[in-house]
Amino acid sequence: MNLWSSIPATHASVHRKNSLYNLVLGGSKMAKTPKKGEEEKMLELLSQPGKALSVVMIMLLVILGVGVSGYVEEVQRVVRIGAVYPLTGPMAAAGTDIRNGILLAVDIINDEHDLDIPLASLIGIESLNGAKLKVIFGDSQGSALLGRSETERLIDEENVVAVIGSYQSVVTAEASQAAEDRGIPFLTALSTTPSLTQRGFNWFFRTTPNEETFVQNLYEFLQDIQEKREIRVDRLAVVHEDSIWGKAVGEHAEQQAREHNYQMVEFISYSSDTTDVTSEVQRLKDANPDVIIQASYVNDAILYMQTYRESGVNPQAILADDNGFIATEFLRILGEDGNYILTRENWTQDLAESKPI
């Protein structure tokens, strides 16, 4: 089930440094009333892609109820939700950002805060008589099999009533299967492979558009920028990692290129755990595309950018498909070499109108 048509996602369009807010960095309790400057820091944190989407996802579970009213622990009045993300391993930087966003959301829901965002002014979940939210984490380590086993553990042993996750679509596919088998709701805000909502599941929910929409938007942007800036783009190259997410991006990018009459001069699929992309980058250099469309996670995105510079690959534009290109590690490691990447990100028009930039 795709909830995009009725539930807004969160927008963040630029890289920003981590907030110094002590809740996220130190895990300490926030005071009932924020001190001077804390509200601004919290709102800045909410604009960061991974953390903001985590906050929205947790709040969404509470607002929807996800069938938890009968599962609130009577004595402690706690709703237990599982969260499966890559907290260690090659995807740990992204997983840590998401975990911090989830902890922020839990604090907003469980305690009273003077913030103009949903659920902040209340203590606990009002519809469940003030019950508190407890999130129990599982570490997928970036592995689909571990993601599934961690989901099974959270449901069977930790007795969670819903699960959120799992960043990578390939992990989400396995983890959500375990939840579906047990009749437990599974919600994702980050996994965008179209096939995830084409499996006929009853307990799988998604709050983001999928790659068919995102790739289509990239081509619409490419058309608009040519018309408004009077530039010409004819030759495209596609670079994608080879999991189900990257393959979906590649398939739709190739399809859209045909529909818009672009010449596809190179098409590269690679493993995200690669340590050397010299030969792939040389192929791109030889093909000389006007624009590169790229889908990468953070380590491979950084590796490609470093190799582009070393090899002198300098297209008119790199159109990135989110993920590694918006991770905090990307700019931290690359510095100025990470600038001038054009990437997509979720956007909600009503938020733009109510809280203009």
CA 87 vs CA 73, 99, 142: distances in Å: 28, 8, 8
Residue with tokens 């909502």: 197
Residue 307: per-residue pLDDT: 97
Q: Encode pLDDT of 269-309 as tens digits.
A: 999 999 999 999 999 999 999 999 999 999 999 999 999 99
CA 109 vs CA 71, 73, 119, 260, 275: distances in Å: 18, 17, 6, 46, 42
Alpha carbons within 13 angstroms on the beta-carbon side of residue 110 total 19
Residue 44: per-residue pLDDT: 53
Same domain assignment for residues 48 and 182 = yes
Domain range holding 216? Answer: 211-343
Residue 183 lies in a domain: yes
Residue 7 lies in a domain: no
pTM score of the predicted model: 0.79
| Distance of alpha carbon 106 from the chain centroid | 18
Same domain assignment for residues 192 and 259 = no
Return the H-helix or E-strand segment holding 253: helix 244-259
In 34-183, where do the E strands start and end? 78-85, 132-139, 162-165
Using the predicted structure, report yes or no on whether residue 116 has a pLDDT greater than 70.
yes
Residue 314 lies in a domain: yes
Same domain assignment for residues 141 and 101 = yes
Residue 164: per-residue pLDDT: 98
Choose between 1 and 268: higher pLDDT.
268
Return the H-helix or E-strand segment holding 342: strand 342-343
Same domain assignment for residues 117 and 222 = no
Same domain assignment for residues 190 and 328 = no
Residue 7: per-residue pLDDT: 33
